[in-house]
Homo-oligomer: A and B are copies of this chain.
């Protein structure tokens, strides 16, 4: 493959240094060299904190380059870097507690009812060297130092990061910050390695390498399924944690429209167009009540006329967007509502599609995820909402906009079976990073029931190991009698620090 350069979405022009595609030999050498020393949670936490410091120090360099490479506004990039640094520190705080090791101790018991039991002790241990594939749409928070790679690092793994070719210089700056954090911690640089390129072969080489023990991925369903296929065909299959996006349906009740139509429409349009509609949590389907549809849609048309949407992240997204929009616009009985663009470069026209649910449901492509500034508004009787929800595929999120008087419990029950996160009176874009966050839903939105956002993301990259009848000196620290790490442990079924 040829070398490649970054493209500025605001101009459509290449800029910055030429980036060479990694060869098969280089990929292999990087993976072979990858390794993470066994270490205490406290030491791993201090490594993460040093990375966070280095990222913050590099903010003045990172932000302008990430802006140029993504076409996203400065405020968004600054906020995303803040979120990225926050995430690193949150994982540091999590592992400093040692809670992720989940130590369990069952002491020997000669009178155990099913028969004498030996001393058994279990803790979570890191999987080894894992491969993380960076996303294009969050050049920081789901990229080089994003939630996937930092949760793997927090788990104690070595990370091999496949950089996203959409923002190569940003990736290099972030990688340099990570390396500087590693160096400040006096740890081996091979804890975190980076593979560069836009050659699709690289994905195959990384995912198929025998030393890789798991894959983390945020991106399209196509690549996610390819990774699952590669992982299943290996001599030793490995887990793939792929977050592949969804249409994130939003069900709106008539009482919600009656109570707050203006705010509702503004929130809906803003959520659909945020980041030029390039979020995996973008609402790609609004279901609105026939009785109040005109009210909602006329306000939407007015609001849409007042805003404008910036460029897309790269030419590939723009091409897929245009193809999808052209195809959807040809459907009969579908009304099109267009918006404005701002700036130059890789810009596309925001396009909303409006039709009765009976029309939408007859066209599977209207219920697929389309990256970019588009969404579908389906008009239906409120009595149909549960049936509509049941007809949808698995989702990252599902939302209800209603009011206190609405009887939405049955609809919510259907949505909770489909989605990883169900939302009341808010919009799905904007994913907070907390212990209770679930970012990952039923197929095809995700390849597993895990989360890629929030502190539980760490468990994707750990596996439990039990020690039976082991002398104290051979036990991991978390399981020793003296509890040298001072952890809360489950001892004979009781949580204790003793």
- A493 in contact (CB, < 8 A): yes
B236–A432 CB distance below 8 A = no
Q: Assess whether A466 is in contact with B495, with CB atoms less than 8 Å apart.
A: no
By the criterion CB–CB under 8 Å, are B115 and A425 in contact?
no
With a CB–CB cut-off of 8 A, which chain B residues contact A409?
474
In the complex, whether A269 has a CB less than 8 A from a CB of chain B is no
Q: Which of A63-71, A118-126, A316-324, A380-388 lies at the binding interface?
A: A118-126
Partner of A113, one of B86, B412, B470: B86
Least CB distance from A53 to B in Å reads 15
Specify how many copies of this chain sit in the oligomer. 2
Which bracket fits the contact residues of A?
35 or more
Beta-carbon contact of A449 and B239 below 8 Å = yes
CB proximity to B under 8 Å, residues A198-237: 228, 232, 236-237
Q: Does A83 contact B (CB under 8 A)?
A: yes
Counting CB contacts under 8 A, is A341 at the interface? no
Q: Are B425 and A469 interface neighbours, CB within 8 A?
A: yes
Q: Mark A425-463, 1 if CB is under 8 A from B, else 0.
A: 110001011111110001110011101000010000011
Asked if B416 and A120 make an inter-chain contact with CB atoms under 8 angstroms apart, the answer reads: no
- Check A423–B121 contact: CB distance below 8 A: no
Q: Chain B nearest CB: distance from A483 CB in Å?
A: 15
A437–chain B nearest beta-carbon distance, Å: 6
A117 touches B434 (CB 8 A): yes
Whether, in the assembled complex, A114 has its beta carbon less than 8 Å from a beta carbon of chain B, the answer is yes
Chain B residue with minimal CB distance to A102? B456
Chain B residue contacts of A425, Cβ below 8 A:
469
Query: Could you tell me the distance between the alpha carbons of A444 and B105 in the complex, rounded to whole angstroms?
Result: 27
Judged by a CB distance under 8 angstroms, whether A408 is at the interface is yes
Q: Mark A120-145, 1 if CB is under 8 A from B, else 0.
A: 11100101100000000000000000
- Tell me which residues across on chain B come within 8 A of A404, comparing CB atoms: 471
Contact of A424 among B236, B417, B470 (CB under 8 A): B470
Contacts of A118 in B (CB 8 A): 426, 432
Is B114 in contact with A86, judged by CB distance below 8 angstroms?
yes
Min CB distance A48 to B, Å, is: 15
Pairs across A and B, CB under 8 Å, 27 listed: A83-B115, A87-B114, A104-B435, A105-B436, A106-B435, A106-B437, A112-B432, A120-B436, A122-B435, A232-B232, A236-B442, A238-B443, A404-B471, A420-B463, A420-B466, A421-B465, A421-B468, A422-B470, A423-B469, A424-B468, A424-B474, A426-B469, A436-B466, A438-B464, A438-B465, A451-B464, A488-B495
Give the interface of A toward B (CB within 8 A).
Answer: 38, 79, 82-83, 86-87, 104-106, 112-115, 117-118, 120-122, 125, 127-128, 228, 232, 236-239, 394, 404, 408-409, 412-413, 416-417, 419-426, 430, 432-438, 442-444, 447-449, 451, 456, 462-471, 474, 488, 490, 493, 495
